[in-house]
Chains A and B, each alone.
Chain A
Amino acid sequence: MRVYVQPVGLLKDHFEATVVELKSNSTIQDLIHAFDLPKELRAIGLVDRKRQMEDYNLKDGDVVTLVCLTLGG
């Protein structure tokens, strides 16, 4: 299946918006691992802008926004 992935914020420095091919039943965690991000940058996934957990099963055609959790004060 194919999902459209959009990085925002800090993650824009690590990859550009792209389409990713994944096995069926892949999760958000699988998708995040595909980008090999620095371990310090903990990322989470939003599907159609709504927060989903790491074990959320992606569907073909999903639009996933990846966001790094690092925040300033």
Chain B
Amino acid sequence: MKGYSGRFLKVDLGSGSTGFYEPPDDHYRSFIGGAGLAARIFLENGDFEADPLAPESLLIFSLGPFAGLRLSGSSRFSAAARSPLTGHWADSSCGGNFAPELRYAGFDGIIVSGAADYPSLLVIKDLSVKIESCQELWGQGIESTTSILKHRFGQSFKTLAIGPAGENLVKFACIMNDGHSAFGRTGLGAVMGSKKLKAIVLKASKKTFYVQDPENCKRLVSDLNNRAKESVTLGVMRENGTAANLEGGVHLGDVPIRNFTSNFWEEMAEALTGSTLSEKYLIRRANCAFCNVACKRVVQIDDGPFALSKGPGPEYETIAAFGSLLGSMDLAATCKAGRVCNDLGLDTISCGSTVAWAIEAFEKGDLGLSDTEGLKLKWGDMRTIIENLIPLIAFRKGKLGLLLAEGSVSAAKRTGGDSDSYTVHAKGLEAPMHDPRGGGHGLALTYAISHRGACHVFSPMLFMEMGACYYPEIGFDLELDPLSSDNKPEAAVVAVTLGALENSACMCQFADREITIPEWVELFNYVAGMNWDIEDMMKTGRRIFYLQRLINHRFGICAKDDVVSRRLLAPAADGAPEGIGINFEEMKRRFYELMDLDSISGSPSRQVILDHDLVIEKSLVMEDLF
């Protein structure tokens, strides 16, 4: 099929062998790529009994069909595995420059299995692949690892690497591309670490990419790139980054404060917002490959306790996770914390959330000085957090490091008392920095029903509730009120379908806000020759959503697991949403009804499985459903 290379690189680190896996065309057509195709590959090749960190587990990197196209927002890709943090099926999305290079090299992805006996480096030059020992890199931070690899192989080589957190199997370790873009969520860096795979370096000698209909594709890509350049909302992202409207978010009650205990803090709003970052520390803007938006920041802090050399700066999630969530309005500290997490290889969302839980546990007496080995945990004490706590976690040092390296939910279980009541998550994945009580009630629903847990990019629900997108072509033209549960189940049906498409096509959720539904169809048809109409495309999105649920069902996930922490549903104590509760159970009931999901198992009905062509030969997920 055009738009694809037609092959995945297979690497067995246990035996040291490499080879190719060629998915049948109908897998590409039915599951697209990215998160969808990774799920399909796992279904066929994965071991459902294997521990996420066992050699038998698979780590799958998977491109969408648009990687390699010179289109804003198209340079993302997925990594997928059973998450060591949640125990469930998980995928994570990363921007940067690796995805197009991997397509140009001749691959649609990489399937890693087994575990090496020694720290290993995977070197890919076009279709030539080598596994090398890299003992000298083990223990190095990501900045140093990336720098050494670029010096050794050349600046044009693209890198994926883990830091000490991944090596030490911290459950929320991330994987970084060239030190600035992350597979942040669900702990896939620990899966890579369990395989002793320190890094992947990649270079393609040609930049060739074949599409089905070059002429129409070129015209459409040009139109979409021009629209991305001219868009008012994307212009805002370019100017002041993804935190451009953090101040507005605080007034809406969207930005979490002190572990989601407050929804308003006026002084913090201006101190942490994107324009303040631009004024104080921005050196230049940066972008993923071929992107006209350039929402990434490069910052430098010349003096003070959090002085920082020129390098990657924080995006919205990191600013909130190491700012308001921890009771801090010190913007320099958020820059420093983000840089330290990147270097050690930690997901900033789960790390900030786990630290927030620990501070509340210490405040409430569930953790004492004997648990923290003398460390006093306080809101806003960023020096202690950055200099002591984050390294303890990454290196699993001491009682506290060992406890927190497992994530907040596991830490609460081990701590006991009432400490579970102030974990903030869905399915064990710490919530991102959007509080559904202010950011939109529908978010609570999509956090809960997401296969990977509380994730704001599982679907575009956040943008739909904010009025950033309407889809009249598929009957969705409702103006949603973020602070109401009305119409949210209906919106969630559209959101999960589009989310599955976005995460399988591996498109950026910022850039693709400018793409209409008919243009999505055209993109698939012009690039990959899908020959779809709108309903074909939407059915494919639903199929992927259902497949991900079926895999999770096999991991033991049921309807009772489609929940979010009570703290996210209780009426807010202050701010714009003060006193307004979320009608979660009714939203969930209605969503289940609309998607024909069983109220006990949470799985799609037999008819849905048949209608979506999900009766798959040798399927491991079907046998207990029929």
Binding site for B on A (CB under 8 A): 8-11, 38, 40-42, 44, 46, 49-51, 53, 65, 67-73
Least Cβ–Cβ distance between A27 and chain B, in angstroms: 15
On chain B, the residues within 8 Å of A50 by CB distance are 576, 578
- 16 additional contacts, CB 8 Å, given A10-B244, A69-B248? A40-B468, A42-B467, A49-B576, A50-B576, A51-B252, A51-B580, A65-B251, A69-B252, A69-B468, A71-B434, A71-B439, A71-B466, A72-B237, A72-B245, A73-B434, A73-B510
B562 within 8 A of A: no
Main secondary structure of the interface of A (DSSP, over half): loop
Give the CA-CA distance A68 to B498 in the complex, in Å.
24
On chain A, the residues within 8 Å of B3 by CB distance are none
Closest A residue to B575 using CB positions: A49
Least Cβ–Cβ distance between B97 and chain A, in angstroms: 20
Greatest chain B CB density within 10 A among A38, A42, A46, A72 is at: A72
Ordered by A's residue number, 16 sampled pairs between the chains whose C-beta atoms are within 8 Å are: A10-B244, A11-B248, A40-B233, A42-B467, A49-B575, A51-B252, A69-B468, A70-B248, A70-B466, A70-B468, A71-B434, A72-B315, A72-B510, A73-B317, A73-B509, A73-B510
CB pair B576–A46 under 8 Å, yes or no, is yes
CB pair A72–B576 under 8 Å, yes or no, is no
Q: Say yes or no: A9-B245 contact (C-beta < 8 A), given A40-B231, A53-B481, A70-B233.
A: yes
On chain A, the residues within 8 Å of B252 by CB distance are 44, 51, 67, 69, 71
Give the CA-CA distance A50 to B575 in the complex, in Å.
7
Closest A residue to B432 using CB positions: A73
Closest B residue to A37 using CB positions: B232
Least Cβ–Cβ distance between B149 and chain A, in angstroms: 29
Name the contact of A42 in the complex, choosing from B251, B264, B315, B466 (C-beta under 8 A): B466
On chain B, the residues within 8 Å of A10 by CB distance are 236, 244-245, 248
Give the CA-CA distance A46 to B577 in the complex, in Å.
10
CB pair B249–A71 under 8 Å, yes or no, is yes
On chain B, the residues within 8 Å of A71 by CB distance are 245, 248-249, 252, 254, 316, 434, 439, 462, 466
B273 within 8 A of A: yes
On chain A, the residues within 8 Å of B509 by CB distance are 73
* Chain B count of residues within 8 A CB distance of the other chain: 45
Give the CA-CA distance A40 to B469 in the complex, in Å.
9
Least Cβ–Cβ distance between B264 and chain A, in angstroms: 7
Give the CA-CA distance A36 to B559 in the complex, in Å.
46
Least Cβ–Cβ distance between A58 and chain B, in angstroms: 17
On chain A, the residues within 8 Å of B483 by CB distance are 51
Least Cβ–Cβ distance between B533 and chain A, in angstroms: 28
Least Cβ–Cβ distance between B274 and chain A, in angstroms: 8
Closest B residue to A72 using CB positions: B242
On chain A, the residues within 8 Å of B577 by CB distance are 51
Q: Say yes or no: A73-B316 contact (C-beta < 8 A), given A8-B251, A9-B249, A40-B232.
A: yes
CB pair A72–B246 under 8 Å, yes or no, is yes
Least Cβ–Cβ distance between B42 and chain A, in angstroms: 26
Least Cβ–Cβ distance between A44 and chain B, in angstroms: 8
Closest B residue to A7 using CB positions: B248
Give the CA-CA distance A46 to B295 in the complex, in Å.
29
B554 within 8 A of A: no
Give the CA-CA distance A11 to B82 in the complex, in Å.
43
Least Cβ–Cβ distance between B184 and chain A, in angstroms: 11
Closest A residue to B466 using CB positions: A69
